[in-house]
Amino acid sequence: MPQAQVGALQEMSANTSVIETDAVVIGAGPVGLYQVFQLGLLEVKAHVIDALPYPGGQCAELYPDKPIYDIPSVPVCTGRELTQNLISQIAPLGATFHYSQVVNSIQRQADGRFLVETSQHTRLLAKTIFIAAGVGAFQPRTLQLDGIEAFASKQLAYSVQDPAAYANQNVLIVGDNEAALQCALRLCSGNADGHPHKARSVTLVHRRDAFTATPATTERFRALVAARHLQFLVGQPTGFDEAQGVLRALRVTTPDAITTAVALDTLLVFQGLSPKLGPIAQWGLELERKQLVVDTEMFSTSVPGIFAVGDINTYPGKKKLIVCGFHECVQAAFGAMPIIRPGEKVMLQYTTTSTKLHKVLGVESKA
Amino acid sequence: MPQAQVGALQEMSANTSVIETDAVVIGAGPVGLYQVFQLGLLEVKAHVIDALPYPGGQCAELYPDKPIYDIPSVPVCTGRELTQNLISQIAPLGATFHYSQVVNSIQRQADGRFLVETSQHTRLLAKTIFIAAGVGAFQPRTLQLDGIEAFASKQLAYSVQDPAAYANQNVLIVGDNEAALQCALRLCSGNADGHPHKARSVTLVHRRDAFTATPATTERFRALVAARHLQFLVGQPTGFDEAQGVLRALRVTTPDAITTAVALDTLLVFQGLSPKLGPIAQWGLELERKQLVVDTEMFSTSVPGIFAVGDINTYPGKKKLIVCGFHECVQAAFGAMPIIRPGEKVMLQYTTTSTKLHKVLGVESKA
């Protein structure tokens, strides 16, 4: 790990607490969840980090309602059902989930453990790491306008943490999905206690007069447009105006090629999420075409103690199927045990017959 | 394959027909069934051979009613449920099952295909073979008396094909399970049409006065014993008497150490099934501690065209779990395609999105 900074821990732990753990799983998609299960059977409680605010990964984000037919012994299930079933399965195993954050850095410490830090300042000191990051962390699709990213985290945002921050502002929203329309409705009406957070004006821009939001949300949105509580403009963002480092307006070009400058204080963009490999590429792990190279004995990356399972890894014969990721979790969990509990002989036990596993799973053993 | 007999096909096919197929799967346990599924997605219809008269392998034979907790996204299911779900899942894929038979020989033919012959004289000419035989073929536990096997298929049998064969005979049954007691009841009462197949006498021997048969069967059995329609003797077989090559009596030693010679015409033994690796050891495949050595790219044995998946194979890191066998089926199926359809570029498709797979699975694609 070329960029490991030994000793950084002591400096940085002055202010924030560090969670010590045997295992960190990066990614709460189906494979990350099953990694929690396999670790749990070995009595290893994992901490799980995911960019999304909920479990399921691609299954939750890309195809929650679409049928999957190739999970073994499950003739058909949706991405949502698959996720829910895995969440039920791991419920007894006591994992801790850290949602809505990505891992920014992994640093090997002097004692061999890894300091994992996330975008929400969660800090974990882990004996082992399991990267189950699939196609990468789901992050907002950015607005493709040259130079506009300079306003990110100032006047440009891709999510709303605190609607009160936009009270009495002119807010321009770009997008047609549920998040975009919900945001428009929320800022337009303020909160339930007398609307103190109501924006001064809310304008939503989308390239055509149709939405991917749910019919109910779309109906409420159109009603507020009709009542002139908010504005809807059909057109594409094609530029912006700034003055003295302040974003003043977004230029929107309509289908009949007229460009309007829409004045704004804040620009909120909701164009969905797309997966990004992100900082994984900077962790010093061997990559091959953006995949982490692993062995097939324990699915270890080139850095001992860091394993990779699921769509993010590659090895001869690799097929990017959920069922293959599930298998990899088994061997990765066993492969990690010499690091987690050195010197202990770990035996494979069967959930059907092992009273020890029945205890771990919270089910009664039958005589 | 040292013992391959090239050209044997033409001689042997004179009398019996040969089924030509792309793939033979040996073993109808969960992994064999999922091998059928993965081959099916690639539009390869398989022929499946199993020693048992039904699918499920160990799951059906050893723990049909016991819970399994580690099938991914299935928090709990019994061995029977797992089997039923897999049977449902592969139903659209058109596999053919050959039950109650074991593979006796595999012979490589001049054209590279394999001639597979079973104990029921099923003959298949296959481009590829997938051995998913688990711990081996389930076969009856034999009676452990020196020299008694000389009477097998004459006066000694481990199953009953035709009860009429025992009409008017003195039948001695060894065993305490459902099969043993059911057989006693059947031979004692004959069939429904006026009892023409009734045995002259039926005696059941078991080492103690308790049975593993179902309570209902046990109750019927005890009632017939009480009514003196059949005899029950507590004791262990410790020897036998023969004269001029004919088995005359089984010597049974009772708990108080008295040995009785029980005269008999036929000896039927029901001591359950136990898995036997059987002729697999003679097929010339590389073995390591009775496991088939495979690579981890396509789970090929040492003979190209013969793959091994599930508990029967071994490779570095191997864990004998069903979930691992499922994964192996994926790579074995893809690994076999250059042999099954040479020159064709086979792409991985997803059951969630591929209209081609939806057609294969008989489900409608949604726009």
Q: Is B362 on the interface with A (CB under 8 A)?
A: no
On chain B, the residues whose CB falls within 8 A of the CB of A321 are 330, 348
**Band of pLDDT at residue B7, cut at 50, 70 and 90:** very low
On chain B, the residues whose CB falls within 8 A of the CB of A331 are 317, 319, 324
Q: Stretch B46-58: mean pLDDT, rounded?
A: 94
- The rounded distance, in Å, linking the Cα atoms of A288 and B285 is 34
- What local confidence, expressed as pLDDT, does residue B191 receive? 54
What is the chain B residue with the closest CA to A64?
B352
- What local confidence, expressed as pLDDT, does residue A135 receive? 87
* Residue B172 backbone dihedrals phi, psi, to 5 degrees: -110, 125
B264, pLDDT greater than 80: yes
B203, pLDDT greater than 70: yes
B63, B76, B351 ranked by CB distance to A70: nearest = B351
- What local confidence, expressed as pLDDT, does residue B153 receive? 80
A8, pLDDT greater than 50: no
What is the chain B residue with the closest CA to A317?
B297
On chain A, the residues whose CB falls within 8 A of the CB of B326 are 72, 323, 326-327
Q: How far is CA B61 from the centre of its chain?
A: 9
Q: Is A147 on the interface with B (CB under 8 A)?
A: no
- The rounded distance, in Å, linking the Cα atoms of A89 and A55 is 13
- What local confidence, expressed as pLDDT, does residue A163 receive? 82
Cβ–Cβ < 8 Å for B206, B229: no
Q: Choose the weakest-confidence range: A166-170, B15-19, B203-207.
A: B15-19
Q: Stretch A286-315: mean pLDDT, rounded?
A: 96
Element (H, E) at A21: strand A19-26
* Burial degree of A14 (CB within 10 A; 0-12, 13-18, 19+): exposed
Strands A137-140 and A273-276: antiparallel
A82, A322, A327 ranked by CB distance to B324: nearest = A327
Q: Stretch A305-316: mean pLDDT, rounded?
A: 97
B159 vs chain A: nearest CA distance in angstroms? Answer: 29
Cβ–Cβ < 8 Å for B197, B190: yes
- Inter-chain residue contact B85 with A74, CB threshold 8 Å: yes
Q: Mean pLDDT for chain B?
A: 91
B172, pLDDT greater than 80: yes
B37, B320, B326 ranked by CB distance to A327: nearest = B326
**Band of pLDDT at residue B189, cut at 50, 70 and 90:** confident
Element (H, E) at B234: strand B231-234
B298, B324, B326 ranked by CB distance to A317: nearest = B298
Strand partners, B24: B47, B129
Does residue A2 sit in helix, strand or coil?
A: coil
Chain segment A94-112, per-residue pLDDT in tens: 999 999 999 999 999 999 9
Q: Report the share of chain B in percent with pLDDT over 90.
A: 78
- What local confidence, expressed as pLDDT, does residue B195 receive? 56
Q: Stretch A154-173: mean pLDDT, rounded?
A: 90
Tallying the residues shown for chain A, one arrives at 367
Chain segment A23-46, per-residue pLDDT in tens: 999 999 999 999 999 999 999 999
- What local confidence, expressed as pLDDT, does residue A3 receive? 39
Closest CA to B329 of B115, B84, B131: B131
- The rounded distance, in Å, linking the Cα atoms of A122 and A116 is 8
Does residue B342 sit in helix, strand or coil?
A: coil
B346 vs chain A: nearest CA distance in angstroms? Answer: 12
- Inter-chain residue contact A315 with B296, CB threshold 8 Å: yes
B232, pLDDT greater than 60: yes
Q: Is B41 on the interface with A (CB under 8 A)?
A: yes
B348 vs chain A: nearest CA distance in angstroms? Answer: 7
- What local confidence, expressed as pLDDT, does residue A235 receive? 97
Chain segment B325-365, per-residue pLDDT in tens: 999 999 999 999 999 999 999 999 999 999 999 999 999 76
According to DSSP, residue B232 is labeled E
- What local confidence, expressed as pLDDT, does residue B12 receive? 45
Q: Which residue of B70, B74, B294, B329 to mutate against A (max A Cβ within 10 Å)?
A: B70
B196 vs chain A: nearest CA distance in angstroms? Answer: 43
- The rounded distance, in Å, linking the Cα atoms of B352 and A66 is 6
- What local confidence, expressed as pLDDT, does residue A279 receive? 78
DSSP assignment of B86-111 equals HHHHHGGG--EEE-S--EEEEEE-TT
Q: Is A315 on the interface with B (CB under 8 A)?
A: yes
Does residue A44 sit in helix, strand or coil?
A: coil
Chain segment B76-121, per-residue pLDDT in tens: 999 999 999 999 999 999 999 999 999 999 999 999 999 999 999 9
Does residue A239 sit in helix, strand or coil?
A: strand
On chain B, the residues whose CB falls within 8 A of the CB of A347 are none
Q: Report the share of chain B in percent with pLDDT over 70.
A: 93
Q: What is the pTM of this model?
A: 0.81
- What local confidence, expressed as pLDDT, does residue A1 receive? 39
Q: How far is CA B74 from the centre of its chain?
A: 26
A319, A331, A352 ranked by CB distance to B334: nearest = A319
Q: Is A53 on the interface with B (CB under 8 A)?
A: no
Q: How many CB atoms are closer than 10 A to CB B307? A: 30
On chain B, the residues whose CB falls within 8 A of the CB of A71 are 72-73
- The rounded distance, in Å, linking the Cα atoms of A205 and A254 is 10
A120, pLDDT greater than 70: yes
- The rounded distance, in Å, linking the Cα atoms of B259 and B235 is 9
What is the chain B residue with the closest CA to A38?
B70
**Band of pLDDT at residue A60, cut at 50, 70 and 90:** confident
Does residue A205 sit in helix, strand or coil?
A: strand
CB within 8 A of A139, min separation 6: which ones? A51, A102, A273, A274, A275, A276, A278
Residue B132 has which token pair?
């998913």
- Inter-chain residue contact B323 with A327, CB threshold 8 Å: yes
On chain B, the residues whose CB falls within 8 A of the CB of A320 are 348
Q: Which residue of A35, A70, A86, A329 to mutate against B (max B Cβ within 10 Å)?
A: A70
- The rounded distance, in Å, linking the Cα atoms of B234 and A36 is 52
On chain A, the residues whose CB falls within 8 A of the CB of B72 are 30, 34, 37, 71-72, 86, 89, 322-323, 326
Chain segment A218-272, per-residue pLDDT in tens: 999 999 999 999 999 999 999 999 999 999 999 999 999 999 999 999 999 999 8
- The rounded distance, in Å, linking the Cα atoms of A27 and B354 is 26
- The rounded distance, in Å, linking the Cα atoms of A290 and A311 is 11
Strand boundaries in A154-230, DSSP class E: 156-157, 170-174, 201-206
Does residue A173 sit in helix, strand or coil?
A: strand
- Higher-pLDDT residue of B152 and A20 is A20
Q: How far is CA B180 from the centre of its chain?
A: 19
Closest CA to A70 of B41, B281, B226: B41
B51 vs chain A: nearest CA distance in angstroms? Answer: 22
Closest CA to A176 of A274, A270, A273: A270
Closest CA to B123 of B28, B47, B29: B47
Residue B76 has which token pair?
């709990």
Q: Among all chains, which residue has been given the structure tokens 């489900």? A: B363
Q: Is A296 on the interface with B (CB under 8 A)?
A: yes
- Cα–Cα distances (Å) from A206 to A173, A239, B287, in that order, read 9, 14, 64
On chain A, the residues whose CB falls within 8 A of the CB of B322 are 72
Dihedral of CA B306/B311/B314/B315: which sign? positive
- Inter-chain residue contact B67 with A363, CB threshold 8 Å: yes
- The rounded distance, in Å, linking the Cα atoms of B48 and B130 is 9
